[in-house]
Amino acid sequence: MTNREELISTLCPTNGEHIYCDKCQTNGKCRVKEKTDKQINYILSPIDESIFLKACPGSGKTEVVAMKAAYEISKWQSNGGIAILSFTNNAADVIHERVSEFMRHEKVSHPHFIGTFDSWLHGFIAHPFLHKIYKYTGKLDSDNDRSYRIIDEKEHSNSNNKNDKSKHFLNNYILDTPFVSKSGKKTNLCVNNVRWEGEWELFNPLSSNSPFISVADYFNNVAFEEFRSDKLWLTVEKINNGIIEKKRKFNKKGFATYNDIEWNSLKLFKEHNDLLVLLSKRFPLIIIDEAQDLSKLQLSILKYLKYQGSEIHFVGDLQQAIYEFKKVDPVLVKNFVKN
């Protein structure tokens, strides 16, 4: 039996004749037979090694991901499961639908997971375990709910509207140092307006082209240098320490941005190796669709899991990264694959 015949016998209820398969009838040909040899070889590739499948737009990569997932799930025997991750709810829904089709309309369930990277990170790492870092005791009305409330990183405080609780509470987390525009205008930033990307970066509410700027670059800005001309004690270290202190207070109260979730997950892995071991056993195989859109922090999270034993499969095209707001750099993905 050839590789293609093996796959057809596993995934196709009509053995490639597409008599009862709605999708195949629409296409007029078997969805397995139309795949390239490279795609077939990937679908049948071993799951005990990490793999990168280069797949450009229009190549049927989403269906290949779905076939790979359905094929492995159909013969899965491990106590853990497969995590199949993408970056939008729509993409995750499409993968889930197609996996179910190839599994003859069986719904994908525990121990496997199909969804976005964020939903997987939040559901299996952040909400169950991040409270361990800052000793977050949970919401006042629920002793058992220690999940984090996500705050948009562009949300601002509004001290003039005390009825707007979603913004007014941010007054407790205003940074000690204001943001000074090139014109000298001062704007208060809250701690949710700061993110970590290898260094602290500040949200610039006055710029649409470059919404974030590193603390180091901001510190050397002419307008800020004028602001601190009589405040020589206000150093980069002082600013960074102030951010860390406010972030700790913010997270300890159960608030976090998406960026906070990611860099705190890394902190969790560093401080609680036992949880990293458990998670790698929970998901011995992680498949990433559109892998070129992984951010530096997300790659670091996967690197920890890879070192602990999880195998990582990347599917995507390194020339097609689109999530610039996450500071996506395909070179980082390329280096991850090489290593």
Would you list which residues are annotated within the binding site for ATP?
A: 55-62
The Cα 267–Cα 271 span in angstroms is: 6
- Output the six-digit token pair for 207: 């710029």
Q: Map residue 162 onto helix, strand or coil.
A: coil
Place of tokens 């150093």: 235
Q: What angle do CA 315, 317, 319 make, to 5 degrees?
A: 155
Which amino acid does the sequence have at 286?
A: I
Element (H, E) at 242: helix 236-252
Which amino acid does the sequence have at 17?
A: E
For the beta sheet containing 212-214, the strands, ordered from the edge strand earlier in sequence to the opposite edge, are 194-196, 200-203, 212-214
The Cα 123–Cα 135 span in angstroms is: 19
The Cα 326–Cα 197 span in angstroms is: 9
- Nearest CA to 30 among 63, 74, 79, 68? 63
Q: Indicate the annotated binding residues.
A: 55-62
111 prior amide bond cis, ω within 30: yes
Contacts of 55 (CB under 8 A, 6+ apart): 39, 61, 64, 315, 316, 317
